[in-house]
A and B are shown apart, each in its own frame.
Chain A
């Protein structure tokens, strides 16, 4: 068993002259809830996108479940223009597309909900089960994988019951209330049977009551599915309530790491992130 489920080493992402993520080193132990916070534009979502394979890092490596899933170093034009703080130590290029990374056991949700809007709630979950299908196209078409198909459907129904969306089973995904859409997106991510769940601002646009519900939902889901959770969030109550460890980013740089108490007392963080008092 690995101590760390996800690790990034010197992960740097540079766009043109902007270093969106600079030398990010995080390590996420199994079975914990880890948060990534920071003011707008700090590079949190970019970090997520590099980890999930949407971008290939400019420099650095991402290690998931003991396997290097992304590794790269500045090449070509970037070699001259590279201004990240960590100078190149990497020599090979490893990259995986998001679908491969998902199949390895990492699932995510999106900051601005990305459901399959015109499809039903049930289909949204069922589609996520497709990632682990064993039958080929022809045998699936001719219904030769009846057992597998039935299992996919049963598991999806089970999942909808677990997250409390079974009443909405046949409703169109876009017709759900906002909070339920967020919940469905999490359910859909869970349907890919992940080990690590990445949540990109799961409480965005929620009222305090909904946020509270979400907080207990995340905790219960984590225990039920034996997950590790890595989340980006702006609602400090939620973050302080559920996280075991918090990373704080500002302008791409990690400015603080620690448990909620330490972060709340950290002067750097107060200055950068909650710095309204200072002005």
Chain B
């Protein structure tokens, strides 16, 4: 019990510390632009990674439809949030659907409290639409197993993308031209939470929800399905109901993350949500460990940071003593990144965390053993 309390305090303290740091970054925006941008993107990808892990790692459904659900969230958020004054600039080729314009004008003239919660409603709407689609698609595809399910969901994701870029929807999605001038993250609770911190709060709340779900009786049923479908069904677990549940929840949070991605990137197009986005997320959960929430979060940060920041060095031309080192040019970092991935996968066969979760007990034990090890070495050194 003591340990339990200590761990809770440690978790709470580190979370507080993290948010304090975020507030600090917010006040020194100018110096830390890169770090902030990386952290924001990591947080957004962490959310979609955990939601994909809920489906692939905890329920054992190998789905590759994440990008499709993200695009729904992103498009709904973007369409609803582009300010009225930018509309003509964004829809400059085909013009905007008049009904949509009048709706947006109505919102723009609504009382200020409506406008302050409107971005969150837009995010939520996107997420609800995605879960409705997931529920519908799930009826058909969740009967499939493993690879077949992956192909079916992949196809669905591509269909969604094709629909968004189709010329018939030009007035709404702006077809293949994409959408821009999307406002950044909204503030929360007046200006208590600055816009920079908002994605972290949303991600934290959503991941907390999924962790609670996984720990609940329903989460255990998901794991049972992952372990052995036939046995799970024989133990009275309704396979379809539980798979559908996991699929819908996962899509909901993927779409939420997609909506935040639109706010982060400020401009989106259908191509953003191609299969490669799903693979990026799959990469994150495989590196982090399939079946580990903390692994996904950790790896979302590591992958994003090394891809876009830490390895930038390799993209710059390098001159050592007048010798121009070959290979150091734009794009080389991706080669290094891929090599690093291979090393990680070879060393950590089951991802950084495997299917375990981060635990303070193990963390403290490791730190202790480190010190003990040093003590021993010192003793040995003394004896000589």
Contacts and interface: CB of A to CB of B under 8 A. Distances in A.
B220 A127 contact: yes
Q: Is the interface of B mostly helix, strand, loop or mixed?
A: helix
Contact of A127 (B209, B212, B224): B224
Contacts of B115: none
A129 B234 CA distance: 12
Interface of A: 52, 54, 97-100, 102-103, 107-108, 110, 114-119, 123, 126-133, 135, 137, 140-143, 145, 149, 152, 188-189, 191-192
Contacts of A132: 236
B216 interface: yes
Contacts, number: 100
14 contacts: A99-B233, A99-B237, A103-B236, A116-B232, A126-B220, A127-B220, A127-B235, A130-B221, A131-B236, A137-B213, A141-B212, A142-B212, A145-B217, A152-B217
Contacts of A108: 234
Which 3 A-B residue pairings sit nearest by Cβ, starting from the closest?
A: A131-B236, A102-B236, A116-B227
A130 B236 contact: yes
B354 to A, nearest CB: 11
Interface residues of B, number: 24
Nearest to A118: B227
B94 interface: no
B218 A140 contact: yes
Contacts of B233: 97-99, 102
A137 B54 CA distance: 15
Contacts of B374: none
A118 B212 contact: no
B151 interface: no
B228 interface: yes
Contacts of B223: 116, 119, 123, 127
Nearest to B248: A137
Interface string B35-65: 0000000000000000000000000000000
B239 interface: yes
B217 A130 contact: yes
B234 A52 contact: yes
A260 to B, nearest CB: 29
A152 B355 CA distance: 25
